[in-house]
A = this chain, B = another copy of it.
Amino acid sequence: MTLHNDATAQPCTAPLSATLDALRDALGDNAVRVGEQIGERAMTDWTRHAPTRPAAVLLPRTTDEVARALAICHAAYQPVVPQGGMTGLAGGAIARATDIALSLERLSGVEEIDSASATLTVRAGTTLQTAQEAAAEAGFELALDLGARGSCQIGGNLATNAGGNRVIQSGTARDQVLGLEVVLANGEVLSSLGKMVKNNTGYDLKHWFIGSEGTLGVITRAVLRLHPQRAARHTALVALDGYDAAVSLLRRLSTRFGNDIGAFEIMWPDFYDFGVKLTGARSPFDGAHSLYALIEHASFDASDSGERFAAALTDALDEGAMRDAVIAQSVADARALWAIRECTAEFPVRLDPINFDVSLPIGAIGAFVERCRAALDARWPGNESYFFGHIGDSNLHVTVDGHSIPGVDHHAVYAFVYDMLGPLHGSVSAEHGIGLLKREFLPISRSSAELAAMAAIRHALDPRGILNPGKLF
């Protein structure tokens, strides 16, 4: 297989001004912003990486307008960067000064909730929170949830296969999708908006575009799967004797409760102590422990689910499977426990965060944390680093505080940690994606044969390489 890359794309055949005129004719003046009309929002994402004003921002209102805009840009070999809520953490939606950004924000709204099929049909520019609220109003739950819910958009969630808080229970963004509508680079519309759970009629096109970070097509609408609402939630914080005990406890609870276990968040002491300090709370435990887990039990049957969860934890304690446990007795209690885990919201303020979002086989995470910490300490004595993660999802987060290593080059820390992942067949991105910022590290997780296959597919669907060039590849 030949590796095709963006370098084979020809230069623009039309001057930018002619392309913009054609776009104004197609979408209306109001839908084509340039220069000072472009706000800060379109310039960078939540990483604050390299803010750049794109050559223009397009604001189409319909799938047909997206199609017309792409057909014009395709004819002109004009690069286009799809933009959603700009909450990404990999620079995947940051445009270059010569790119045209295509914002989906006006293509928004929930189109339909089908209660019999338990589906929600939604436009790409709808915020996740709006979609969640519409589902809840109809008596259902949209199982996708993440911190950026108020700003992030469904299109971006799907283009990046977002993870978030419920993956252990309901999977990633990909697992919520039944149907998808996508506009290809040349303006052709692929509309596969079926509501069917099973549909084996040729290649399942939606899976090509989910997680492709805007490089294969622009997602315009989706049919999402809805779940019944869970009637009761219970939260516990437990203290454990090391990583293997955490994996055993996860398996023990899964065997008893299946995917009623809705969260199983692991915190190593560095993270836990920092979280307790930041929240100004007191640890509910006497003394220190080698590992902590925040566990949520979410059940459809509220009648005695709290008692059942408590009984399972009591059994585990009695049998020596954990050191200690506290169960939240109120919503306020539960929020206080979650606040420790969610101290990450303070990281950008308190730290100079160098963030890792890696995944590894679940059994390998404990040993990796030990090795990684020892290696960081040897290389940068005095570094302050925080380890935590969603181990049920095989996902480990590491944050190294740049302030604790004066003058350190962030890039050197990235390379140092990612290099340790390679031999373990780990992934350099569990959920945030590759975008711009992790491109050079992608070969750690993907073989040259895999990269060549990706490039061939990219070339087949976007031979001119106009969609989000410079991302992923």
B-contacting residues of A (Cβ < 8 Å)? 1, 114-119, 160-161, 163, 167, 172, 174-175, 184, 186, 188-205, 207-208, 210-212, 216, 227-230, 247, 251, 254-260, 300-301, 308, 359-363, 390, 392-395, 425-434, 442, 445-447, 449-454, 456-457, 459-461, 472
Contact = CB atoms under 8 A, between A and B. Distances in A.
A394 B117 contact: yes
A167 B199 CA distance: 12
A200 B456 contact: no
A452 B453 CA distance: 19
A190 B116 contact: no
A163 to B, nearest CB: 5
Contacts of A429: 199-201
A446 B117 contact: no
B160 A200 contact: yes
A90 to B, nearest CB: 9
A403 B37 CA distance: 72
Contacts of A392: 197
Which 10 pairs from chain A and chain B are nearest by CB? A116-B363, A207-B207, A460-B460, A196-B359, A198-B430, A228-B255, A195-B361, A196-B394, A199-B427, A201-B445
B167 A197 contact: yes
Contact of A202 (B210, B258, B308, B472): B472
10 contacts: A1-B186, A117-B394, A163-B198, A194-B427, A199-B427, A201-B445, A205-B453, A257-B301, A457-B457, A460-B460
B395 A198 contact: yes
B190 A453 contact: yes
Contacts of A308: 301
A115 to B, nearest CB: 7
Nearest to A115: B251
Contacts of A161: 200, 204
- Residue among A203, A459, A461 facing the most chain B CB atoms (10 A cut-off): A203
Given A184-B453, A202-B446, A449-B189, A395 B211 contact: no
A78 to B, nearest CB: 19
Given A196-B359, A199-B430, A200-B434, 18 more contacts: A115-B363, A119-B361, A161-B204, A163-B200, A191-B447, A195-B362, A196-B360, A196-B394, A196-B426, A199-B429, A201-B442, A202-B450, A203-B208, A203-B211, A204-B210, A227-B258, A255-B300, A259-B259
Contacts of A301: 256-257, 308
A454 B203 contact: yes
Nearest to A168: B197
A434 B202 CA distance: 7
Contacts of A433: 200
Contacts of A194: 361, 425, 427
B200 A431 contact: yes
Given A190-B453, A196-B394, A457-B460, A361 B201 contact: no
A430 B200 contact: yes
A163 B196 CA distance: 13
Given A1-B184, A450-B190, A247 B116 contact: yes
Contacts of A452: 188
Contact of A114 (B175, B201, B363, B453): B363
- Residue among A175, A198, A360 facing the most chain B CB atoms (10 A cut-off): A198
Contact of A361 (B117, B247, B445): B117
A461 B442 CA distance: 21
A427 B197 contact: no
